[in-house]
Every structure is written in structure tokens, then in C-alpha cells.
Amino acid sequence: MALGKVRSSRRSSSSSGSYKSTITTLVFVALCVVGLWMLTSSSVVSTQTSTTSRSSSSSYVSKTPVTKKPIRHHKDDSHSFDDTPGDLPDDAIKGDHSSTTSTSTTESNVLKQSVEEGDKSNLLDRSRDPETTATAEQESEHENVVNDEQEKVTSFSNTESKSQNEESIRHEQEQEEHDNQVTEESNHTEDNNAQTKVDIEDQSHQEQSSDVTSHETESEIQTRDEQQHDQHETEAENVHQTHEDTTESHNQQIHQETDNENAEQIQQDTQMENSEDAPKIEVESHEKIDTENESHKQIQQTQKEQEADDHQSYQPAEETGKELNQDSQQVEDTKSDEQQNESNSNESALDGAQSGIPKESKESKEAWSTQAHQSENQKERKTADGITKEYTWELCNVTAGADYIPCLDNEEALKHVHNTGHYEHRERHCPQEGPNCLVPIPEGYKRSMEWPTSREKIWYHNVPHTKLAEVKGHQNWVKVTGEFLTFPGGGTQFIHGALHYIDFLQKAQPKIAWGKHTRVVLDVGCGVASFGGYLFERDVLAMSFAPKDEHEAQVQFALERGIPAISAVMGTQRLPFPGKVFDLVHCARCRVPWHKEGGTLLLELNRVLRPGGFFVWSATPVYQKLAEDVEIWREMKSLTASMCWELVTIQKDKLNSVGAAIYRKPTSNECYSQRKHNKPAMCKTDDDPNAAWYVPLQACMHRIPVDDMERGSRWPETWPNRVHKPPYWLNNSQKGIYGKPAPEDFVADYEHWRQVVTKTYMSGLQISWSNVRNVMDMRAVYGGFAAALKDLKVWVMNVVGVNGPDTLPIIYERGLFGIYHDWCESFSTYPRTYDLLHADHLFTSLKKRCNLLPVIVEVDRIVRPGGKFIVRDDPEIIGEIENLLKSLHWEIHLTYSKDEEGILSAEKTDWRPDTSLSSS
């Protein structure tokens, strides 16, 4: 108390100047604190230097528990703080901005009451704690929060400055009473902040100032006040400059990070909300202020770990253009409509790619016979390994020009064919490896007309041949009309229209039942295939074929019209079809010598005709009485009787002045055993009727199946039920291609392709299906792809590879058609004859036997300009094919790969090279 009296006596005798100097000191200290406050920027604390009520305020703050969470980093954090009070304490700002309103309000009230009681020193010490400062600097990237807090700090400081005059007077009057408490609180503050050098020095200056006031003279006080004024003024300027530099640096950093975080915003919000690893640090009511420093350290460490997790978990979406080889779904708010559509297409493609059908099982290779195995006389072919990496394309220098068919126009091979009596020169003679040159496009070529207009007329320059029009024009085959070639719908046997002729046949034999009982037809010597073209009106598919002979471009006309056809001849080898598959075989005035050489050619028709199926022969021997016709009729009558064919009816069409004989193949072996003469002979038991790839013709007949579960023992389901119902002769003991029991495999394959076609092919591959008519499935398996397209106005040539499981009989059983083929050779069709080619997991296995480059050249030859190519295969194969197509100037619409599945969609352009082989 004595010490207190001495100080009181000295103050009472002091002049008014001492009061002014004390007020000046307090103002300077306040300015210094304001600068320090602005440096921390993310904390809102008091700037008052008085220490009179520190312990009271400290205990009050510790009674309010505060829940803390790591900070989420956003592209623009200003919106995250909209509901946060501006006067929150330091740790409240660092807390989760999604915490409850009650918590924020409580924290605001705590700070407000602390200010009213004058407890500023404790908050100042906390704001100057090094750990708190480091945490605040890390959080200062939130620009909007910093600005808001600075405005609040400035306003608060102005209020403080006004109240300091009154406070200092009251402080002088009560100084004696609180002097001892100041000393004790100073010691307590030194213990609490021993780790912070700056805090210790400031506290020492405050204590020294208080002591000097009691002992020094007025002049000494004034001198010290002036020194402190200069010092604090310098510090305030440094603090202000440092704060401006820090703020500018953070603004630049935030501006740079904002652009990068735009695409991350949604994904990071979701990840942070669902994160189970983000620790929550609670400050219990019994904890002291000293423990908050450790809490700040934990929060800082948690923020670093969370940022590392965010960086690791986030994978930015990359735009791949036309190639989308990626494993994760892309998420970008700024995507354009075109990119969004492309993403949807890829998802649909992936859905189709993984809809439940695995690759061919190993067991199926043992359970199913192959056409190559069945055809023992298949020729040997050399294979080449690897793919040419550099592509220099040239036009083929061949006589056939734009109509070049490599296996039928092999001039070098034809030089060695000396016997032409059996049309050997019209058969397939393929080069050892397919050509690497490109077939030119006719001058004036235009995109083909759409169906059904194309059935009536085509562009002349697409098939610029007039010989057939000159020879057969009077028979209504084809006519030249300006820039078009027109097809009146008739032929030699149905000058007045094919539909009338088709209906005439059904009236002659009602059991034909077009489109119900009879679904798949073989049209021999088709001409321009008007018969098959109009059978579509009766829901019938016709496989038409004719040789590439002096009747120029018959099959080419048919295909350009949108009618199924292949270039083939009945010569010395079997047709590329399995046995017992066609419901009806038709020949309208075809000049095939059926009766010659023991009826070998007619016996070939018997092989492919289904037991109980019909053979329709509308030729001149049926209804004309010329000597030659009478002789042929007599020979045919004897031959068909010995083959046990029943002559069902002979009818004449008065409108067309033609007649038709309709025969029916037996459904049992009874007739064969009752024949007086064994001619034609029955085939040996080891002769496989399904063997058809380069197998010589045999003048024999195969027995009719008698086992109820054997294929051919009964007629298939009526159309359209037969398309989706498993054939009766598939049994559960037989494994399917994909490893399930065969009937289940069949159904799963059909469902698979229905989903793929519906979800992906109809909308996801940029295909305008109104421009698609001729389709080829290069690896058909069960024909599920063709079955899925049955309701469209398209037809599908199903190709079954000779080295794969022989499933072609299944395709015919379900009312579809197809052909055997080896893709290491050229296909028997004219150039530019298909609108769309589809290859499902073909090239991976094909690459083991031959070079892929000639195969892609063959694809380029077959597809029309503007035509499409869809490939599903391993990603590595997809990439290889894509490179080849790009070198051919195809437009790649889509490539997509995931895991072991890839898909490619491409479109052929009009591009052709400028040079040909002759100029090289």
C-alpha cells in the first residue's frame, strides 16, 4: 500500500502534460496492435493493451466449447463465409463453416463480452502466438474473408481509439488499486507465452512503462514516450507494408487457383462431405488457453493431410477428342453440349460393351466343329506376321478397274486355268495375300439412293454398264433413263412385275406360305435380283447369286439396288452354305444344266435344301414344246424322281405366259430305300453335308435326319417366332460359344445384342440408319446382331469364319441367312456394295493367322463412300485398326476402351490416292 501511495502522490503532482503523454503512449500501442491484427488477418482479436482483466476473460472463453473442422478449399470461398459473423474469434474462423448457428452466436457473444470487460491482452497474446500466426497465414487464401475481417478490424479500432481517452483517465485513478494485480498478471503472461519471443518483448515493454511511471521524472517519461512513438510508428508502417505484400501475394495465388479449381468444385465438395478421414478437434470446457496452441498445430497438420488427399483423389477429366481411352467418368461443369453428348455416347457404348456376354470360351472350341475342319480339302494359305507401320497407298493397276474383286479377277491365277467346261474360271482363285492397293471410285460416283427408291432406280455412274440394258432391256431387266438406271420390276419370267409372279407361285402351292412357312430362299442365276428385291414385301429373305460373266454386273446391280447377292457360280465346288438350311430354292429361266453329269449341280441344291423344302423351277422346258426343251424336261423328270423329289404341281401364268414346276424334298429315307437303282448314290457316312469351304462337288445324296433332336428332322418355327426361339436341336448338354448351355447361350446372345443395338448403335455412333440398307456382320456367331435389326429396313449378311465354331446352321434356323468365309481372303462381292460392316472380336483371333492390313484394305473396298465400320475388340487391336483407317482418310467418330473391351466407329470418305501401281 505504501508503494501505491508514493505513486499516487507523484501522479497527483504531475502536470497535465503527463496525462497527455500517457494517452499518446496508449494510442501508439493501439496502432501497433492494429497493425499486428491486420497481419494475422484471419483472426478477430482485441487491440486494447490493458491487462487489468485478463484472467477473468480467459476463464470466460474457456467455458465455451468450440467444435473445429478442417477447412474445405473452394474455387471462391467468399460464399462459404456468408453466414459467418465478422467478429468470430480466431479458432471460430478456422472452424467448419457449416457448423450450427448457435455455436457461431455463442462465439460472437464471448468476444463481445470480453471487449466490454476490457480484456484485450489475452486475445492479443493469442493472435501473436507463432503457431496461430502460421495457421492464419495458411488460411489467408480466402480473399473475401480477409477483406471482410479487415473492414471489421478497422471499424473496431476506430471505436477503440475514441474510448481510450476515457479509459486512460479511469485507469490513472484506479492505477494504485490494480498495480499489484498488473505485476502478477505480467508474470503469468510471461509463463504462458515463453515460446513466443515477440510477445515476451512486448509484455516487458508494457511492464517497464508501468514501473517507470512510478519512479521516473516527467521529463524522462516524455523522452521515453517520444522514443516509443517513433518505434511504434516505424513498426506500424512495416506491419502495414508487410500486410499489403502478403495480401497481394495471396490475391495472385487465389486468382490462379480459382481457374484450376472450377472443375474441382463439385467433386471436392462431395469428397469432403463424405470423407471419413477428416478428424474433428474439440476444445472441452475444462481446457486452458494454453492447449489451444496445440489445437492449432493439429488443425494445420489435418489441413495439409486433407489437401494431399484431395489432390490424390481428384483426377482431372481430359478431353480426348475422338479417342476416349480412359477408366473414370468425366465430370466438368464447363463442358460444351457437344462434349456432353459425346460423354453420353461413350457411356452407352460401355453399357453395350459390358452387357453380360464374355468372350468365346475355350470349351466351345472343343465342343463345336469348324468349317475348316469339316472341309478337309481346304487349301493351304501362307500367313504373315505383323503390321506394316508405314502406309503408302496406291491405286490398283488391274484390268477390272473400279469393279475389281481380288479372288475373281486374279489374272495371274487365271492364266493357269486351262479347262473352262465347268466354269472353273468363274470360281474363286485368291492371291496368297490380299492386295494392299486401293480400288478407284468411278468418275461421277454419287452416294447411293435410299431404300426403297433404290429398288426402282440407281445412279448410272455408280454402275456405268449398259450391256445388260442393251441385251435384256426388252425383258424389263434394266433400262437407261437419263442419269439413272431403272428397273421395271420384271425379268424374263415376270415381265409384268415380280410381285405378281410371287403371288402366282403361292397360289400354285399354298403350303409355300411366304413369310410364315417359307422365310429363307436361295435364288439361283438371279440376274438383277428383282425376285429377291420384291420378296421383302412378303417378309422373305432371298440369297441371290450369279457369276461374274458376260452378263455384265448382274450382282453389282442387285447390291446397288439394296438387294442381297453374292458373286458365285455352280462349277466344281460346293456353294459356301451348310446343308439343309434353305426353305426354298428358286431358279427362273436360269441356264444351269441340271441334268448333266448325273445331276451333280441339282444334287448340290438338294444338299442345301431343307427336308420338306420346295424347289421352284420356272424355265422354258416346263411350259415350251421345243425339241430341246422337251429333252431337258424328260431328263429332269427322271432325275428328280430318282432323287425322290415329289413333283407337287405344274402351273402356268397366263399374264406372263410362263409356267412353273414346284418340287418338294422328302422328309424321310423311305423313298431312298425303295429305289430300284441306286442312282444317284447315297453319300458315304463320313461325308459331312455341312462341309462347304473349297470342297469338291459330290454326285450323291445325304440321308434325311430321323432322330427327333437332330437338325433337319422337323421344320423350324414359323416366322417371326423362330428368330428369338432357340432351335429345338440345341440341348442343355451342349455348351454354347460363351460357356453356358447352348439354349441359354442363344438367349443371352440375343438379349445382349438387343441392348447394344438399342442403347448404343441407334443413337450413340453417329449413324443415320435411314442411309443404311446393306449390312454385313463379319463375325456373326448366333446372328444376334442381325436379329436385333430385324425390324429395320435393312438386311444383314451373316459371315461365319471357317476357323471358328460352325454356328451358321443356327442362323438359318432362326430365319436369317449367311455365308462361310475366311477373312484372310477377299470376299466375293463387288467394290462399294455395303453400307455398314460390323466386326465383333474378329481381329484378335484373325491376327494370329494373317496380316491385318489386307483385311482393312478389303473393308475399304467393300464399304461404300459414306459407309460405316463398327469394331468391337481388344483395346490394342482397336488402336491398330484406328491407325490404319486414319491412313486411309476414314473419319473416326468414336473410339472407346475400358478394361479389355474397346469399340470403334468410323466412316469411309471419298478419298483415293493420286498415284497407281503402274506409275510407281
CB 22 within 8 A of CB 172: yes
pLDDT at 28: 81
CB 118 within 8 A of CB 54: no
Measuring CA to CA, which residue among 753, 757, 766, 762 is closest to residue 895?
Answer: 766
Q: In angstroms, rounded to a whole number, what is the distance separating the alpha carbons of residues 299 and 281?
A: 8
* DSSP code of residue 696: B
Collapsed DSSP state (helix, strand, coil) of residue 760: helix
Q: In angstroms, rounded to a whole number, what is the distance separating the alpha carbons of residues 541 and 16?
A: 119
Please give the grid coordinates belonging to residue 638: 427322271
CB 803 within 8 A of CB 758: no
Could you give the maximum distance between any two Cα atoms of the chain, in Å?
Answer: 159
* DSSP code of residue 204: H
Please give the grid coordinates belonging to residue 695: 470342297
What ranges do the domains of the chain cover? 391-440+721-919, 496-685
Strand partners, 662: 616, 649
Which of the residues in the chain have pLDDT under 70?
1-21, 40-368, 374, 376-389, 918-920
Collapsed DSSP state (helix, strand, coil) of residue 458: strand
Contacts of 829 (CB under 8 A, 6+ apart): 405, 555, 559, 566, 567, 862
Q: Report the half-sphere exposure of 400 (CA within 13 A, side-chain side).
A: 18
CATH assignment, 496-685:
3.40.50.150
Sequential DSSP letters for 336-384: -HHHHHHHHHHHHHHHHHTSS--PPPHHHHHHS-BHHHH-TTPPP----
pLDDT at 14: 43
Contacts of 905 (CB under 8 A, 6+ apart): 765, 766, 767, 868, 869, 870, 892, 893, 894, 895
Mean pLDDT (the chain, rounded): 74
State the CB neighbour count (10 A cutoff) for residue 226.
Answer: 12
Q: In angstroms, rounded to a whole number, what is the distance separating the alpha carbons of residues 181 and 52?
A: 7
Measuring CA to CA, which residue among 794, 790, 757, 788 is closest to residue 774?
Answer: 794
Q: In angstroms, rounded to a whole number, what is the distance separating the alpha carbons of residues 180 and 198?
A: 24
Identical topology for domains 391-440+721-919 and 496-685 = yes
* Burial degree of 162 (CB within 10 A; 0-12, 13-18, 19+): exposed
Measuring CA to CA, which residue among 371, 352, 564 is closest to residue 451?
Answer: 564
Q: Give the N- to C-terminal CA distance of the chain in Å, as an integer.
A: 119
pLDDT at 164: 47
Please give the grid coordinates belonging to residue 586: 428358286
Q: In angstroms, rounded to a whole number, what is the distance separating the alpha carbons of residues 240 and 243?
A: 5
pLDDT at 230: 53
Please give the grid coordinates belonging to residue 343: 460423354
pLDDT digits (tens, 9 = 90+) for 766-785: 899 999 999 999 999 999 99
Q: In angstroms, rounded to a whole number, what is the distance separating the alpha carbons of residues 510 and 651?
A: 13
Distance of CA 521 to the CA centre of its chain: 38
Backbone angles phi, psi at 804, to 5 degrees: -110, 175
Q: In angstroms, rounded to a whole number, what is the distance separating the alpha carbons of residues 814 and 787?
A: 9
State the CB neighbour count (10 A cutoff) for residue 456.
Answer: 14
CATH assignment, 391-440+721-919:
3.40.50.150
pLDDT at 35: 78
pLDDT at 417: 93
Please give the grid coordinates belonging to residue 331: 465430370
Instruction: Give the Å distances, CA to CA, from 189 to 192, 600, 802.
Output: 5, 117, 94
Q: In angstroms, rounded to a whole number, what is the distance separating the alpha carbons of residues 659 and 657?
A: 7
Q: Where are the beta strands (DSSP E) in 142-198?
A: none
CB 496 within 8 A of CB 490: yes
**DSSP-H helix ranges across 483-572:** 498-508, 530-535, 554-561
Q: Which amino acid is at 43?
A: S
Instruction: Give the Å distances, CA to CA, from 449 to 439, 495, 810.
Output: 21, 24, 33
